[in-house]
């Protein structure tokens, strides 16, 4: 992994600490830096303050939901370049469609396989 990839930070947004820590561990083992937010308000502030290289975003969050966060970031010229991977238990076709319509780059449903998630992330971040 290049120095660029190692310095790339991924923002993990989920209100379940176990999920956050599981993903964080795998990402750090793969050489990525991690930022964490457990609610929508913290997530939007952190995304704007830190400009991460990629965001893993749950939908069902306190304060602002993932759809709202995605929309706020993707409709803002300063942040629209940040890839957003929705990572959620909401697997209905209408949820997937809404995610696509508001600009999510990928839509991954829980439960997910960590190796597959890492491959998806690698498609968006420099190797």
pLDDT over 80 (residue 7): no
pLDDT value, residue 127:
57
What pLDDT score was predicted for residue 8? 82
Q: Give how far the C-alpha of residue 37 lies from the chain's centroid of Cα atoms, to the nearest Å.
A: 10
List C-alpha distances in Å: 112 to 104, 115, 120: 17, 9, 11
pLDDT digits (tens, 9 = 90+) for 31-83: 999 999 999 999 999 999 999 999 999 999 999 999 999 999 999 999 999 99
Residue spans of the domains in the chain: they are 3-124
Cα–Cα distance for residue pair 46/30, rounded to 1 Å: 22
How far is CA 42 from its chain centroid? 13
Residues 6 or more apart whose Cβ sits within 8 Å of residue 52: 8, 9, 10, 11, 35, 46, 82
Over the stretch 88-126, which tens digit does the pLDDT of each residue have?
Answer: 998 899 999 999 999 999 999 999 999 999 999 999 997
Q: Which pLDDT score, from 0 to 100, does residue 70 have?
A: 97
Asked if pLDDT for residue 3 goes beyond 50, the answer is no
Give the separation between CA 20 and CA 35, rounded to whole angstroms: 10
Contacts of 42 (CB under 8 A, 6+ apart): 63
Q: Thinking of the domain 3-124, which architecture would CATH place it in?
A: 3-Layer(aba) Sandwich (3.40)
At residue 2, does pLDDT exceed 90?
Answer: no
């Amino acid at each position: 992994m290049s120095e660029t990839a190692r310095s790339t930070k991924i923002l993990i947004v989920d209100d379940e600490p176990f999920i956050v820590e599981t993903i964080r561990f795998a990402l750090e083992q793969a050489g990525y830096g991690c930022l964490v937010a457990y609610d929508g308000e913290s997530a939007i502030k952190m995304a704007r303050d830190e400009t991460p290289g990629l965001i893993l975003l749950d939908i069902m969050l306190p304060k602002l939901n993932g759809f709202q966060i995605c929309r706020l970031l993707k409709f803002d010229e300063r942040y629209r370049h940040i890839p957003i991977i929705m990572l959620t238990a909401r697997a209905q076709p209408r949820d997937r469609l809404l995610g696509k319509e508001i600009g999510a780059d990928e839509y991954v449903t829980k439960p997910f396989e960590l190796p597959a998630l890492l491959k998806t992330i690698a498609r968006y971040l420099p190797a």
